[in-house]
Amino acid sequence: MSLSSTDLIHHPYTPPEGFDAPQPAVHKASTVYFKDVAAMRARDWRSKAGYTYGLHGTPTTFLLEERLAALEGGTECLLVPSGLAAISLVSFALLKRGDEVLIPDNAYGPNKALATGELANFGITHRLYDAMNPQDLHDKLSERTRLVWLEAPGSVTMEFPDLIALVAACRARGVTTALDNTWGAGLAFDPFAAAGVDISVHALTKYPSGGGDVLMGSVVTRDEALHLKLKLCHMRMGWGVGANDAESVLRSLPSLPLRYVAHDRSARELARWFEGREEIVQVLHPALEDSPGHAHWRALCGPQDLAAGLFSVVFDARFGIEAVDRFCDGLGLFKLGYSWGGPVSLVVPYDIGLMRDASVSRWPHKGTLVRFSIGLEAVQDLRADLAQALEGMHAEPA
C-alpha cells in the first residue's frame, strides 16, 4: 500500500454543509408475497423457515442474525435498530410492574437513564450495584429481582469485574443475567461458555460495523424459550432493521477479528505510553497490571489475550478542566465524538463525579478522565498527536 493507513483514513473528503461523519455517504428497501391464502394463514412467527413482513425479517437480516449468534457462541439472535434498543428490548421483554432490575454503577449511562425514566414510569424499580464487589450484588438480589445487567469492563471507567462470580450469585437465585458485550464483541471471551450469562447484547454500531456509519444492536441467547419471549416483544415493539444496514454489517464482519486485534494492539501501546507520562495519575485499561480488575480480565480474556481498543486516562488534578479541554481540542487525528469501533480515533472527556452514584462505590480520583477509542491509524502518528496535544496543554492559553 502506497498510502499509510493514517493517510488513507484521513483522506480529504468534503462533507455536505453541516454534516461530518467518519464515512462518506452510502446511497441505496416491506411487503412479502405469499403464494396463497393458506400459506398466509399458516405462517408462524416463531419459525425462520419463511417470511411474513419486512419488519420481522428478510433473508439479509436472518443471515446476519445467524452469523452473530455464531460469533458470540449463542444459538438465537434478534437485530434491533441500535445497541441501546438491544438494552431496552431485554428490559421491556423481561420486566413488569413490581419487578426490580440491578444495574452496575459503572454501566453504560443510557441503560441507567432507561431505568430512571421509562422503567420507573412502568412501576419497575432499579438498584445500582458495585460491579467490583460481588457481595454487594449478592446483598441486593431480592424476591423482586428479575434481571441483572452486567458489563465487562464498565463503560468509560474500564474496571473489569469478576463476571463469573457475579453470574454465579444470580444463578444461585435463579435470576436472568444480561451482559452488555459490546467491548468483548464475541472475541475477547465467550459470553455463554466462559462467563455463563443468559443473554448477550451487543452494539453492532461499534466493532461489527467498524465504519462509524451504521447503528444496530443484537440480542443473542442460547435458550429457545427466552429467545421467543424476546422475539414476541421485538415484534410488538416494531424494532426491525433495514436490509441495507444489515448488509453493511455483513460486509464488515469478515474483517472484525483482524480489526479488533489491530485496535487492541495500538490501544495497549498507547495506554502503556500514557503510564510513563507525568500528567497522568491512572491509566484505565484492563490488560494493564495496575488497572482495576486486571486479574479478572486475565482470568477471562487471558487465553485469547484480547482487550479491544478502548482505554481511559485520569489527569493529575493540578490540570483543571480548561487544561484538559485544551488537550482534547489540541488533538488532530483524534476526533471529538461519541461511540467507538471505527477507523478514526476518538476522544471524550468525562466528569466521573457526575456520572457515578457516589453512594454505591467511591471513585478515587479527583482529576478529569479522558476516554480514547483507538482507531486504525498508524500508532506512531497517534502517539505523536497525543504528545503534541499534551505539550499544547502545558502552554498558557493565548
Q: Which residues bind ligand PLP (CB under 6 A)?
A: 82-84, 108, 155, 180, 182, 203, 205-206, 215, 217, 339
| Torsion angle (degrees, nearest 10) of CA 91, 234, 181, 110 | -50
Cβ-closest position to ligand PLP: 83
Q: 89 or 270: whose CB is closer to ligand PLP?
A: 89
CB closer to ligand PLP out of 208 and 367: 208
> Which is nearer to ligand PLP, 151 or 190 (by Cβ)?
151
Q: Least distance from C-beta 323 to ligand PLP, angstroms?
A: 27
In the complex, the smallest distance separating the C-beta of residue 86 from ligand PLP, rounded to whole angstroms, is 7
CA separation for the pair 39, 33 (Å, rounded)? 10
State the minimum distance, in angstroms, from the CB of residue 87 to ligand PLP. Answer: 6
> Which C-beta is closer to ligand PLP: that of 348 or that of 376?
348
Nearer to ligand PLP, 191 or 319 (CB): 191
CB under 8 Å, gap of 24 or more: what pairs does 95-99 form? 95/119, 95/122, 95/124, 95/146, 95/147, 96/122, 96/124, 96/146, 97/122, 97/123, 97/124, 98/123, 98/124, 98/144, 99/124, 99/125, 99/144, 99/145, 99/146, 99/147
Question: How far is Cα of residue 61 from the mean position of the Cα atoms in its chain?
Answer: 20
Q: Distance between alpha carbon 284 and the CA centroid of its chain, in Å?
A: 17
178 Cβ partners below 8 Å, 6+ apart?
90, 94, 147, 148, 149, 150, 197, 198, 199, 200, 201
We find the least distance from the C-beta atom of residue 203 to ligand PLP, in angstroms, to be 3
Closest separation in Å from C-beta 23 to ligand PLP: 15
Conformational region of residue 158, where left means phi above 0, alpha means psi within -120 to 50, and beta covers everything else: left
The counts of H helices and E strands in the chain are 15, 12
Q: Cβ 215 to ligand PLP, closest distance in Å? A: 5
Nearer to ligand PLP, 9 or 179 (CB): 179
Q: Which is nearer to ligand PLP, 349 or 392 (CB)?
A: 349
For the CB of residue 180, give the shortest distance to ligand PLP in the complex, in Å: 5
